Amino acid sequence: DSVVNRIAAGEVIQRPVSAVKELVENSLDAGSTSVNVAVKDGGLKLIQVSDDGHGIRYEDLPILCERHTTSKLSKYEDLLSIKSMGFRGEALASMTYVGHVMVTTITKGQLHGYRASYRDGVMENEPKACAAVKGTQIMVENLFYNMIARRKTLQNSSDDYTKIVDLLSRFAIHHTNVSFSCRKHGASRSDVHSIATSSRMDSIRTVYGVSVARNLIKIEASDNDSSTSLFAMDGFISNSNYVAKKTTMVLFINDRLVECSALKRAIEIVYAATLPKASKPFIYMSIVLPPEHVDVNVHPTKREVSLLNLEVIIEKIQSVVESKLRDSDE
């Protein structure tokens, strides 16, 4: 039933930035080394994500946007870690219930690509042969065209493009082997532009600027001693010279961009106690945990993650952050 599907889809894709996140994650899952985003009208008119990944096979195109279509659950081990990967096969399908989706793709060794468009989970015509170089381009047009109230609310808030730029900045500093760009459609200048194979520090400098990069301290921790606390962490935190009114916390767990408000608060507390005169911190942190210890919330839109042994992990990170801040302040 299309109304039910539309409402469910509107839950998965709450705003343009949620669509962009899903599309970029698909590009990364496809092994891309270059991901380019262009957006019109904060994403309401157009979201375009182009990548150079492995592409989509011709025979997969007809069912691509049906719910629960996924190519990412082939092995038994995948089933074990399904929780850490979030919802499967929901994103593209959802987009077709609240917008118009067009896919252009070419797989390795093919002479030409194919283009197909989708509505309400269904491919509209036979895929058409077309010119294509490498990878996949997905266009989502007129997002929420059938959800008048949602569209109105979003039209009045001009900050969706800012949210998209912020999202791409986060991906860019974590995936340093991938180049990212994000621009308003038709603009010659991109607002995020990262170059692949740069060091983490280089990409932070490119994306967040020198004033952030020059005030960072490297942090690292790992524990392989006991299976209950098995984890590795590395990243950068700001020193006492960094100035900002709000905390920026860029957190990746097992290479997925997530949020953990308890961890964020715990680090803010260490800053307040150790560097009382410092501003709110900038934090980039990548944590690796056994997949079965990570539970991305049952709700697909919530990035909030829950972790087994969260208290242990928080304490460990707090002590690393505290000692690094003390060292740097001497």
Shortest distance (Å) from residue 102 CB to ligand ADP: 13
Q: Determine if 136 is a binding residue for Mg ion (CB under 5 A).
A: no
Q: Determine if 285 is a binding residue for Mg ion (CB under 5 A).
A: no
**In angstroms, rounded to a whole number, what is the distance separating the alpha carbons of residues 121 and 114?**
18
Shortest distance (Å) from residue 216 CB to Mg ion: 31
**In angstroms, rounded to a whole number, what is the distance separating the alpha carbons of residues 264 and 259?**
8
CB atoms within 10 A of CB 45: 15
Shortest distance (Å) from residue 69 CB to ligand ADP: 5
In the chain, what's the furthest Cα-to-Cα distance?
67
Task: Provide the Cα torsion 30, 31, 37, 42; round to 10°.
Answer: 50
Q: What is the DSSP string of 257-321?
A: EEB-HHHHHHHHHHHHHH-TTS-S-EEEEEEE--GGGEEE-SSTT--BEEETTHHHHHHHHHHHH
DSSP 9: H
By C-beta, is 88 or 316 nearer to Mg ion?
Answer: 88
By C-beta, is 41 or 51 nearer to Mg ion?
Answer: 51
By C-beta, is 14 or 318 nearer to ligand ADP?
Answer: 14
Q: Does residue 262 contact residue 316 with C-beta atoms inside 8 Å?
A: no
By C-beta, is 19 or 249 nearer to ligand ADP?
Answer: 19
Shortest distance (Å) from residue 65 CB to ligand ADP: 7
Given Mg ion, ligand ADP, none, residue 160, with its beta carbon under 5 to 8 Å by kind, binds none
Shortest distance (Å) from residue 150 CB to Mg ion: 21
Q: Residues in the site for ligand ADP, rule: CB under 6 A?
A: 22, 26-27, 30, 51, 53-56, 64, 69-72, 88-93, 136
Q: Determine if 26 is a binding residue for Mg ion (CB under 5 A).
A: yes
Q: Does residue 86 contact residue 256 with C-beta atoms inside 8 Å?
A: yes
Given Mg ion, ligand ADP, none, residue 27, with its beta carbon under 5 to 8 Å by kind, binds ligand ADP
Question: Where in 63-92 is the site for Mg ion (CB under 5 A)?
Answer: 91
Which residues of the chain form contacts with Mg ion (CB under 5 A)? 26, 91
